[in-house]
Amino acid sequence: MLQRKQFINFAWFVVAYTIAVILWGAFVRATGSGAGCGSHWPTCNGQIIPRPEQVETIIEFFHRITSAVNGVLVIALVVGAFRLFPKGYLVRRGAVLSLIFIIIEGLLGAALVRFEWVVDNVSIGRVIASGVHLINTSILMTLLIVTAWAAQSAVRGEKLSDRRLHWRHQGGVGWMLGIAFVGYLLLSASGAIAALGNTVFPSESLAAGLAADFNPTSHFLIRLRVWHPVIAIALGMYLTVMGTAVATQRPSAETRTYARLLKIIFGVQLVFGFFNLLLLAPVWMQLVHLLLANLVLLGLVLLSVEAIAQPQPAPAKAPLLAQRQTSG
């Protein structure tokens, strides 16, 4: 039992560590250090351990090291899940899926380097890859959170139980949560594009930035970044209503708590997003903004799993239909 409790702590540590790696990856982009190792991968400037002749190389190489450690941690998560939890448990499935998506994460990072979609590159390929990269990151984070939650839910006192997610018969609750998650992925992709636009095309002032956003002759990255705050505000209003509705239809102490925390965190996120825009997106503010975005995802995922872990009875058949089936 102690080993399983240690696994729970380890699973949440992997979640926290992954967030730290994500933040450092944003720091790499924001500081223009993506080409710190040239176009070489997995080596850095053709060397396994590069000579740090410039600070960009140190920043990029450190990101590669922390990302590799992240992969090792997820492998350890899979080994622990299979060793400590029986076949068929959600912990195992979540860990395996996490491993698959962290491999995809590494391949996407490698593609950015190999195709030189870094620093001032503003090609369509980089824009698409950046959006897909952050969507994959969000899915990876979701799977890691579900794995940690599943392990924590399975270990209750001296009894081990598999708390399953009941996808069927969730009705409107399932649709509301699904729309929220898709909305978050859309927000993640738009955030990646907006951050890229702010990095490559920094504005001298807020007024100049807004003018450029609506100038039809501006680069498409500049004109696209205006959609991120629009999507954020729309999703924030939706999450506020959705959280209340889900907590009402799937009442429990956990759903009420996570619905309330989701509203608070997203409210703080919107405030920081406004100041991020007002201050012309300094690096430290971008990192805080991204950290809050990951906390929003944490709240959304925990609300979702607590809600759909509650089994719902199948809808009763109409008496006439049931009678016809019996007679047939």
Please report, for the chain, the start and end positions of each structural domain, with discontinuous segments joined by +. Answer: 1-164, 165-313
Tokens matching residue 57: 């190389």
Which is nearest to 226 in space by CA: 242, 237, 210?
210
Q: Give the residue-averaged pLDDT of 101-117.
A: 92
Specify the pLDDT at position 312: 74
248-277 b/e (C-beta count within 10 Å ≥ 16 → b)? ebbeeebbbebbebbbebbeebbebbeebb
Q: Give the residue-averaged pLDDT of 236-245.
A: 94
pLDDT above 70 for 138: yes
Phi, psi of 314 (to 5 degrees): -65, 145
Tokens matching residue 206: 């807020």
Specify the pLDDT at position 95: 97
Taking a C-beta distance cutoff of 8 angstroms, is the pair 311, 166 a contact?
yes
Radius of gyration of the chain (CA): 22
Specify the pLDDT at position 121: 86
Q: Give the pLDDT confidence of 119-128 residue by residue, as tens digits.
A: 888 889 889 9
Average pLDDT over the chain reads 88
Quick one: angle between helices 124-154 and 90-114, nearest 10? Answer: 160
Quick one: angle between helices 172-200 and 2-30, nearest 10? Answer: 40
Which is nearest to 7 in space by CA: 99, 72, 84?
84
Specify the pLDDT at position 325: 54
Phi, psi of 47 (to 5 degrees): -125, 145
Enumerate residues 6+ apart whose C-beta is below 8 A from 313: 169
- Work out the pLDDT band at 173, boundaries 50, 70, 90: very high
Question: Model's pTM, two decimal places?
Answer: 0.90
Specify the pLDDT at position 136: 96
Q: Give the pLDDT confidence of 286-311 residue by residue, as tens digits.
A: 899 999 999 999 999 999 999 998 87
pLDDT above 80 for 207: yes
The C-alpha atoms of residue 303 and residue 260 are separated, in whole angstroms, by 10
Specify the pLDDT at position 299: 95
Q: Give the pLDDT confidence of 46-105 residue by residue, as tens digits.
A: 888 888 778 999 999 999 999 999 999 999 999 999 999 999 899 999 999 999 999 999
- Percentage of the chain surpassing pLDDT 90? 54
Which is nearest to 77 in space by CA: 11, 22, 4?
11
Specify the pLDDT at position 168: 77
Specify the pLDDT at position 69: 97
Q: Give the residue-averaged pLDDT of 224-232.
A: 89
pLDDT above 60 for 161: yes
Specify the pLDDT at position 276: 81
Taking a C-beta distance cutoff of 8 angstroms, is the pair 30, 105 a contact?
no
Specify the pLDDT at position 217: 86
